[in-house]
Structure 1
Amino acid sequence: MGKYQNDAKELLKYVGGSENVSAITHCVTRMRFVLNDTSKANKDEIEKLKSVKGTFTQAGQFQVIIGTEVADFYNEFIKISGIDGVSKDSVKSAAKNNMSFMQKLMANISEIFSPLIPAIIVGGLILGFRNVIGDMKLFEDGTKALVEMSQFWKGTNDFLWLIGEAIFHFLPVGITWSIMKKMGGTQILGIVLGITLVSPQLLNAYAVAGAESIPFWDFGFAQVNMIGYQAQVIPAIMAGFVLAFLERGVKKICPSTISMIVVPFFALVPAVIIAHVILGPIGWAIGSAVSAVVYGGLTSSFGMIFAAIFGFFYAPLVITGLHHMTNAIDLQLMAEMGGTSLWPMIALSNIAQGSAVLAMIYLQRKNEEAKQINIPACISAYLGVTEPAMFGVNLKHGFPFICGMIGSAIAAIISVGSGVMANSIGVGGLPGILSIKPTFMGIFAISMVVAIVVPITLTIIVGRKKLIK
């Protein structure tokens, strides 16, 4: 008998049986169901199963948190249910039938950025490390950085920029590729389109503000500015979708015998023209406006209020899936302002939720079953993955979730009030300090302490009354 056979049988029963499962797959920690009738899922009974750490519904999917052994559980479930598993993309496609327009929009944005996040995190860590060795004056009475003391570290600093530049300056290539992949288009066309947005022929986006004159293509009857869109998010998104829809449209009217020649040409060439003539300038203006509004909100006299609201509500935002919108805003802030004040608050929220779980570990220290869930969830949250903490522990009890939100809000006020900025998106937990600009590392460390101490203290105070009752 398999380790998870009994729980798999019970889970099948409580989700409404095989006939109620439209599609199923799994990710790193969760079983992902698309159910024909979500009302048939008995959440209370499912959450009583020993293998289950929590349940929630997101993006049209009923998700059951199992943990890192989800692959073994999934295999047992497939054997017992007789249901054929499908790919994540198939499940997402099926789930969209259960989603509203706004949920579909958020899901699409999430699917664009999800494949890019590993690279962005690596880039963030690299930029953070380069800050430590290149900008922090730690030697000779605070007058010199490590790169000024050692040729090895200077060479390392210069070499690491090769990776940082590839990730952030050439981000539009990744975005246009991801859109074409998601839309089922020809991915190499997306890559080519992205390269045309960051070509060395163009004036670098970072040099536009200080340029005495902007080069242009002269067509006689019109001139088009030769501006690059390095690190720009919105122009790349708009251009990527135009290419995808052009390719679909041309395919519909083009005979299959000549499609190999005609479709790529009449999709890519117009897309590149539209990107540089229309979408690039419009996207640049929109991106600049969004960045200015967010940055203005963070640095205005109402910045503390904005920080408190964002810090308090970010964790609930994760539950809805709307938090993926912050990736685009962060990247745009980085391109326009040279850093982001938004991402540090996200890291603090993750730390706060993990700290609430740490308090639950203390409160439930004699509960062996709870420890099996609490300890991995706490470690995961401190390393930037909060779903096991929120769905497996904090939301299940309620009060730790609120205590974490309060701690996050207070820490966010300190962070924004002190002008903390990150170079980029990074690992959204304790390692997040590596992505903070060196000038602000000290005050961010204080914010982290607050995000740890406040949720732990509140959770223990409230928990002693709640759990005894």
Structure 2
Amino acid sequence: MDREKFLEKLFPLVGGKENTSLCEFQDDMLYITLKDAGLADENAVAKLPDVASAALRRGRLTVTFGEPERKEEVPFMANNEKLINEILRAVGGKENVSSATHCITRLRFRLIDVKKADIEEVKKIDGVAGCVYKAGQFQVIIGPNVNEVYDELIRTTGVKSEPAVTDAEAEAEDGAKKNIFSRLVDTMASIVMPMIGPLAGAGMIKAILSILTQFGVISSDSQTYQLFYLVADGVFYYMPFFLAFSAGKKFKCNPYLSLIFAAMLVHPNYIALRTAGEAVKLFGFLPVTLASYTSSVVPIILIVYFQSIVERFFEKKTPKAIKVFFVPMITVLITVPVGYVVLGPLGSIIGTYLAKGFTALDVYASWLCPTLVGGLCPLLVMTGMHYALGSAQSIQRATLGYATILAPGMVCSNMAQSAATFGVALKSKNPEIKSLASTVGVTALCGITEPTLYGIGLKYKTPLYCAMAGGALGGLFAGLMHVKQWAYGTSTIFALAVYLGEDNSFINMCIAVAIAMVSAFILSYITFKDPVQEK
């Protein structure tokens, strides 16, 4: 081997000769000390002629000469290409595919003639976990690597692509076969799903901070805590912004215009009006209910949906010459009054009447309050109605010295959501679902249920129903035992000490939480069906 010619080929692969400080040949080895190891490509060096292997460790490249042991293996892309060809053959050929998209685990084809496709033949293909025809789509279940298969499909075949969707979004298209509640849940899930990652990450930070403060490792008054908390809480506090953009894309309107309506709900000036507590009227005669919209979900989705209707109408009717400014302007002018007066405070208005009903129930059938809150808490949180119940509970606490309207049922619900999610984590064979469920289950255990509710509950539905059932059972026991929250605290398992008081509320609350968690976990484990296993 000509060493000089070899080095001429090697130097460009390690950042040039000027990036080497020492080159030393010893028998069938070459040792090179690099100034900047980040410039070296050891994989490229290993492919040079006469090189058996190349290893880069701590700034030193070791090249071993000889015959490399090369394994005969099919490249990953070749595997995908073979899989794609077999799938296309079984669905009637590429010419039978109108368009294709994908979700978290499935390739989804729109076929020109469904009768040409053979579901049973597709199921026999190596690499396919299952196949169904659903929501007007021929769905081939691939698993977590569906993104790579889909990209290869579009690249090699030229099939028309459509935007990626969630399972809930695709199923929502099959509206005739679903009741209105399921369709609403599916729509909400598809809007919230893009922000599950930030929710889960921020939720974990809040959970860690909660645990550290509970055990006295860090004080909630410290500046370190305050800075990390405001960052983590910002995702939840400003949730209307995230949802506005996602809803704008979902309803096919301008998502940047949607952000304006999120801003109007949490703007400091609006918060100041709400804090002042004075009556506010739009145009001098339209009453504005000053509801709390921070961390809310439903109000901004309703407003953006209304925006999409207004925007589409004026897009069709407005001349092109003035469309660029007129459509956004008129959309804002019409949507703002409707949002402030009707759609935004809808949950708050209903919640106010609900709070009056719960207050009456607490007097005449006190066991019903924790039962209903334990079962319905996820829905109350989504709509913002829990704020009204919280206000009613504050009056109760000031009058009687304890709370029963909201707190006992909510802690049962939160812990049931955590347990139901852990049931999914244990049951699922899908690594992505298992990882997400494990993470958000921990955050729910610390009282932060949004990642659990939107990432697992709404998406797969059965965990949500199981959590509601478990929360109701735990709440029922708490109600029958007349559990009282004697001090203010969060609705988490780490704050059960607030139920220590003049009676046995603490013991009974612990039992209620155990009932909620065990029942929700068992129900979720039994009923959850992993989408990858669907046939």
TM-score, normalised to structure 2's length?
0.56
Q: In the TM superposition, what is the alpha-carbon distance from 1:84 to its structure 2 partner?
A: 3.4
Structure 1 residues 31-76: Cα deviation after superposition (integer angstroms, max 9, x where no partner) = 2233445566544443333312334556544433323332333345
Alignment of 1:332-351 (within 5 A): 332=384, 335=387, 342=413, 344-351=415-422
Counterpart position of 1:13: 89
Tell me whether 1:174 sits opposite 2:226 in the alignment.
no
Cα separation, 1, equivalents of 2:325 and 2:185: 35
Tell me whether 1:114 sits opposite 2:193 in the alignment.
yes
Match of 2:305 among 236, 241, 254: 241
Counterpart position of 1:4: 80
Contact 1:355–1:455, Cα closer than 8 Å, also in 2: no
Distance 1:264 1:34, change over 3 A: same
Identity %: 25
Contact 1:204–1:229, Cα closer than 8 Å, also in 2: no
Cα separation, 2, equivalents of 1:219 and 1:437: 48
Structure 1 letter corresponding to 2:194: P
Structure 2 letter corresponding to 1:236: I
Kindly indicate which of the two structures has a greater share of residues assigned to strand: 2
Q: In the TM superposition, what is the alpha-carbon distance from 1:232 to its structure 2 partner?
A: 3.1
Cα separation, 1, equivalents of 2:254 and 2:298: 21
Distance 1:38 1:173, change over 3 A: same
Aligned length: 383
Distance 1:452 1:42, change over 3 A: farther
Structure 1: segments with no counterpart, 5+ residues: 139-144, 311-324, 358-373, 387-403, 420-433, 460-469
- State the structure with bigger RCO (CA 8 A, min sep 6), 1 or 2: 1
SS of corresponding position for 1:63? strand
Q: In the TM superposition, what is the alpha-carbon distance from 1:191 to its structure 2 partner?
A: 0.9
Structure 2 letter corresponding to 1:351: F
Q: In the TM superposition, what is the alpha-carbon distance from 1:406 to its structure 2 partner?
A: 12
Match of 1:258 among 322, 332, 337: 322
Distance 1:51 1:237, change over 3 A: same
Tell me whether 1:214 sits opposite 2:269 in the alignment.
no
Cα separation, 1, equivalents of 2:107 and 2:427: 25
Cα separation, 2, equivalents of 1:91 and 1:407: 20
Structure 1 residues 101-152: Cα deviation after superposition (integer angstroms, max 9, x where no partner) = 7476554333322233333333432332332233x2x3xxxxxx3334x97x
Q: CA RMSD in A?
A: 5.1
Alignment of 1:24-63 (within 5 A): 24-36=100-112, 41-56=117-132, 59-63=135-139
Contact 2:203–2:440, Cα closer than 8 Å, also in 1: no
Cα separation, 2, equivalents of 1:117 and 1:214: 37
Cα separation, 2, equivalents of 1:294 and 1:54: 47
SS of corresponding position for 2:149? helix
Distance 1:237 1:199, change over 3 A: same
Counterpart position of 1:280: 344
Cα separation, 1, equivalents of 2:421 and 2:368: 26
Contact 2:412–2:471, Cα closer than 8 Å, also in 1: no
Structure 1 letter corresponding to 2:438: L
Match of 2:141 among 60, 65, 71: 65
Cα separation, 2, equivalents of 1:294 and 1:233: 23
SS of corresponding position for 1:88? coil
Q: In the TM superposition, what is the alpha-carbon distance from 1:267 to its structure 2 partner?
A: 1.0
SS of corresponding position for 2:85? helix
Contact 1:120–1:167, Cα closer than 8 Å, also in 2: yes
Contact 1:32–1:63, Cα closer than 8 Å, also in 2: yes
Alignment of 1:220-231 (within 5 A): 220=284, 224=288, 226-231=290-295
Cα separation, 2, equivalents of 1:188 and 1:412: 38
Contact 2:109–2:138, Cα closer than 8 Å, also in 1: yes
Alignment of 1:347-362 (within 5 A): 347-356=418-427
Contact 2:245–2:259, Cα closer than 8 Å, also in 1: yes
Tell me whether 1:438 sits opposite 2:486 in the alignment.
no
Counterpart position of 2:438: 383
Cα separation, 2, equivalents of 1:92 and 1:412: 24
Q: In the TM superposition, what is the alpha-carbon distance from 1:257 to its structure 2 partner?
A: 0.8
**Structure (1 or 2) with the larger CA radius of gyration:** 2
Distance 1:271 1:343, change over 3 A: same
Contact 2:420–2:517, Cα closer than 8 Å, also in 1: no
Cα separation, 1, equivalents of 2:471 and 2:204: 21
Q: In the TM superposition, what is the alpha-carbon distance from 1:268 to its structure 2 partner?
A: 0.4
Cα separation, 2, equivalents of 1:413 and 1:248: 43
Contact 1:24–1:86, Cα closer than 8 Å, also in 2: yes
Q: In the TM superposition, what is the alpha-carbon distance from 1:190 to its structure 2 partner?
A: 1.1
Tell me whether 1:197 sits opposite 2:265 in the alignment.
yes
SS of corresponding position for 1:160? helix
Structure 1 letter corresponding to 2:150: Y
Distance 1:435 1:42, change over 3 A: farther
TM-score, normalised to structure 1's length?
0.62
Contact 1:179–1:244, Cα closer than 8 Å, also in 2: no
SS of corresponding position for 1:147? coil
Cα separation, 2, equivalents of 1:92 and 1:411: 24
SS of corresponding position for 1:248? helix
Structure 1 residues 307-355: Cα deviation after superposition (integer angstroms, max 9, x where no partner) = 89x9xxxxxxxxxxxxxx9688546366556767556444433432443
